[in-house]
Structure 1
């Protein structure tokens, strides 16, 4: 998981974006995106890297060139990119020029009509939905009940737990899993160690977005599956 700001990787903590600082990691010397990805691949043969373009999400610019460079230099990786997509047209434009997949963060989404516009098109298999939560749901209020508009892959993103070490939001994951049992659900926020990864897998969660526990060494090579994403 990479959080990009101003061309570099920052350490996300509890969704308090104004307080994010350049990443310090045991896996690499600096916070340059190329260094960080090399460090991650030195730890494990990951198949997918999630990228949050914070400048695009906040409407202050973008890290499009960084994402393009990463995709060109790490062609073996699949990139899931959240670039603050508000509308279906922006998603289509991104997918036309990028080999990766587009993550639609509910906090950025203009409305459920954007998902309706994408659902029946060729871009749909490359769309990932992030259901974003803080104290409550962030996004179009009718979206959580409209599973017919969810793509196959859905992230449950609890922002207050990102970089916190508080553990995954098991209650929320269970609720989504109970009401939408056929969704490929990915956990984001709070993963601490191998125990959490095993617990998530036992609960049927398809995968997890992890950053802090990799960079500070709490999750090491022996704690990860043979093939990760």
Structure 2
């Protein structure tokens, strides 16, 4: 089994959280408290440098980028940072959550060619946007402290879901508290054929067998890579 993105049996997708043009370090999903990242993988928190550092630690085919200014404040996507990341890691697909909630904004982003949009349930007012976009986008089913975020119908009606879904447990992001296996299994039960990616709480390689058993085909990871608790040899064999 090899490390990497979409074609590997289990995908590790490195994460970059952007705030004010820099990569920040997630801690328990408390976004206002995120500070510019200090990591052995990069000499600075500049997005391009961190992207290169993450891929030196884990040669993935995808990166997930959360534009926190767009998600929290409703600003347009940070095109400069996204362009810098794309130029730094050519050939790597970017999954980008920039608080997309309007079809026009999604279409404008798709026209840039900078990546694939992620529709976070927390950002949605129109639950039908997910259905209309289909597999052009990835759905992130967001929750915090056991509460589903966004329209209830979006969490309850799997007929609207695309084929790739992130199960995002925000309170566990950057916490090292362990992944939300129960939440993952609940989504798997409603969508047995979807490709599910866990997000939040990975401690290290000890969590990978349970994630697979709960139905995940991959995991979004930041802290465990920066702290070198997860390394490519953990998926080798």
TM-score normalised by the chain length of structure 1? 0.91
The ranges of structure 1 where at least 4 consecutive aligned residues each deviate by more than 6 angstroms after the TM superposition are none
Structure-1 separation of matches of 2:55 and 2:205: 18
What is the CA-CA distance between 1:187 and the residue it aligns to?
A: 0.1
Report the Cα offset of residue 160 of structure 1: 0.3
TM-score using structure 2 length: 0.88
Please, which moves more after superposition, 161-170 or 176-185?
176-185
Q: Does 1:113 find its partner at 2:123? A: no
Contact 1:68 1:98 in 2 (8 A): no
Residues paired across the two proteins, number? 221
Aligned residue number for residue 77 of structure 1? 92
**RMSD of the alignment, in Å?**
1.5
State whether structure 2 residue 23 is matched by structure 1 residue 13. no
User: Which of the residues 181, 193, 209 maps onto 2:204?
Assistant: 193
Deviation at 1:202, TM superposition (A): 3.5
Gaps of at least 5 residues in structure 1 are 119-123
Paired with 1:163 and 1:60, the residues of 2 have a C-alpha distance of 23
Structure 1 CA distance, aligned partners of 2:116 and 2:16? 15
C-alpha distance in 2 between matches for 1:169 and 1:218: 18
Gapped runs of 5+ residues in structure 2?
Answer: 1-14
C-alpha distance in 2 between matches for 1:81 and 1:58: 14
- Work out whether 1:160 is the aligned partner of 2:175: no
Counterparts of 1:68 and 1:140, CA distance in 2: 31
The 8 Å contact of residues 44 and 50 in structure 2, kept in 1 or not, is answered as: yes
